[in-house]
């Protein structure tokens, strides 16, 4: 099975900060990677797919990059609404696998 490892597990940041979250796959997954945002008590929301394609309606401060085994999610200028937990997911596979999540909290 392909394992997805996110880092860090928790990230403390302030409004306006540039934030970067990393997701590593245990083997190459091409660009079959998505990023989701989840707020407490809510279902996850798709942000980015195909590693770098922004879902419709998602603010342009979010961006994704990477291919193969290493991927990043970047928030260029953190906004109050962005404090949440972020998950990467390998999809279009035999077993769709999520990373363990990165919680972005207020510094």
Partner 1 sequence: QVQLQESGPGLVKPSQTLSLTCTVSGGSISSDNYYWNWIRQPAGKGLEWIGRIYISGSTKYNPSLKSRVTISVDTSRNQFSLKLSSVTAADTAVYYCALAGFWSGTLDYWGQGTLVTVSS
Does 71 contact partner 1 by CB under 8 A?
A: no
Tell me which residue of 92, 53, 56, 91 sits closest to 73, measured CA to CA: 53
DSSP-derived secondary structure for 20-75: EEEEEESS--TT-EEEEEE-TTS--EEEEETTTEEPTT--TTEEEEEETTEEEEEE
Helix (H, G, I), strand (E, B) or coil at 4: strand
Segment near partner 1 (CB under 8 A); pick from 13-21, 57-65, 73-81, 95-103: 95-103
* Cα–Cα distance measured from residue 84 to residue 15, given in angstroms and rounded to the nearest whole number: 13
- Closer residue to partner 1 in complex, CB, 30/79: 30
- Closer residue to partner 1 in complex, CB, 17/98: 98
Does 36 contact partner 1 by CB under 8 A?
A: yes
* Cα–Cα distance measured from residue 105 to residue 46, given in angstroms and rounded to the nearest whole number: 20
Cβ at position 103, least distance to partner 1 in Å? 10
Does 46 contact partner 1 by CB under 8 A?
A: yes
Does 97 contact partner 1 by CB under 8 A?
A: yes
| Chain residues that interact with partner 1, rule: CB under 8 A | 1, 32, 34, 36, 38, 42-46, 49, 87, 89, 91-92, 94-101
């Amino acid at each position: 099975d392909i394992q997805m490892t996110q880092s860090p597990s928790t990230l403390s940041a302030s409004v306006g900060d540039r934030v970067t979250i990393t997701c590593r796959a245990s083997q190459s997954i091409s660009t079959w990677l998505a990023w989701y945002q989840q707020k407490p008590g809510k279902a996850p929301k798709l942000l980015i797919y195909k590693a770098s394609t922004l879902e419709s309606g998602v603010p342009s401060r979010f961006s994704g990059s990477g291919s193969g085994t290493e991927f990043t999610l970047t928030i260029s200028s953190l906004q109050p609404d962005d404090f949440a937990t972020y998950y990467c997911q390998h999809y279009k596979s035999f077993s769709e696998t999520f990373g363990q999540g990165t919680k972005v909290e207020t510094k």
